[in-house]
Structure 1
Amino acid sequence: MGAGVPETTRQRILDAAVEMTTEAGWASVTMSRIAERCGVSRQTVYNDIGAKPTLAKSLILRELEQFLAGVSSAFDAEDDFLRAIRQATYAVLDRAQDNKLLHAVVSATHGADTELLPYLTSHSEGLLGYATAIIHEHIRKFDHGLSDDQADAAIEMTVRVVLSHVMQPTKSPDETADDIAWLMSRVLRA
């Protein structure tokens, strides 16, 4: 939170859920334990968030918004399309390296605590749609030569590749960002 901006009950609940997930796994998160940690009633947690599946979705969407803020900053700061793609990719991958919630979700795939994972993988339509829409708005300022349909396809595939590298990195954020920018340079030449 920024200085002087009061934290809402909803934010405190989400923060508590992240802390509990990173400390002991998603299975340890209950509405009662969140209420206790936040100093509110269990009913307040339900009123502000809803049931646990809604909490899971809210956590993932809040993380996505934070990742997309970095993407937006990269596109806003650049006047070259490929540099903007490279910087946006780097921003996501760099943030992912140290994201405790993301690490808790991904590391859970090796155990039984995988309830959050579908929000990043098999049930990620909302995530992909939201990310694609935000990026599509940002790329309008560039003369990239792609039709709207081509731009949507390129964005979706790029988002999927970046998400894959978030989930299972094989290189440093710098190297992967360079690779994705190179790949997009080939798409733009075609």
Structure 2
Amino acid sequence: MPTTREALLNAALAALRGLPWSAVRMVDVASAAGVSRQTLYNEFGSKEGLARALVRREADAYLRGVERALGAGPDAATRLVSVAEWTVGEAAERPLLRALLTGCWGDRLPAPRAAAVRSRVLAGTPAQRRADAGPPAPGELLAAVRERWRTALGRDGAGPGEEACELAVRLALSYVVAPDSRGLGALLRHTLSATSRTAEDR
């Protein structure tokens, strides 16, 4: 059973599927979640606070998915391909994630800024204080993926380095921005193989 916070975030996301963020009303989000409007304000502080929490949840969900993809597959290259393909698929289905990854926020989406420092200090829960720090920039998400790749390499002891991870994610982002019918996986495997051969020839 979702917590009150999760129920409110789910209700806000559901409302956003049919309406631009500017038309999403706090009273409707609270009603859909089965709580009072005051409860909603107690949890998030404002509509802007709700937007920050919604975007932060998308970023966290993306990074959890990256961790899952990096933990599966017979070899490191396959796991990088999985991360890249998963990134493209998720971004196609989740407009907030697409905006986070590309930095391109449309009129229909919330584009929250970090809360003022005083507001962050006064936020009621640790989750909201974290959300109020503002959404991660695309480069910050990429750095977080690289960090997770370093952790995965530490477990395995071998595999393509951080540059290969960055190449995989940046290639995936190019497919997010400019979809192509040619398979990302095949292109990425070819690129990783060519990069590996070049490194060995040095």
Q: Please, which of 140, 146, 151 is the counterpart of residue 137 of structure 1?
A: 151
Specify the alignment match of 1:3 in structure 2.
Answer: none
Tell me if 1:185 matches 2:193. Answer: yes
Give per-residue Cα distances to partners, 1:67-93, cap 9 Å, x unaligned. 333332232122311111112222222
TM-score by length of 2: 0.67
The 1:73–1:145 alpha-carbon spacing in structure 2 relative to 1, beyond 3 Å, is: closer
Unaligned runs of 5+ in 2: 115-134
Q: Please, which of 172, 176, 198 is the counterpart of residue 166 of structure 1?
A: 176
Give the 5 Å matches for 1:68-107: 68-99=63-94
Q: Is the 8 A contact 2:8 2:29 kept in 1?
A: yes
Q: Percent identity?
A: 28
Following superposition, the deviation at residue 16 of structure 1 comes to 0.9
Counterparts of 2:100 and 2:67, CA distance in 1:
24
TM-score by length of 1: 0.71
Q: Which moved more, 1:17-26 or 1:175-184?
A: 175-184
Specify the alignment match of 1:123 in structure 2.
Answer: 137
Give per-residue Cα distances to partners, 1:97-149, cap 9 Å, x unaligned. 3336557999xx79633543999x99334433333322332232241364xxx
Unaligned runs of 5+ in 1: 1-5
RMSD over aligned Cα atoms = 3.4
Give per-residue Cα distances to partners, 1:5-64, cap 9 Å, x unaligned. x21111111111111111112222233331222222223223323333333332233223
The structure number with the bigger radius of gyration is 2
User: How many residue pairs are counted as aligned between the two chains?
Assistant: 175
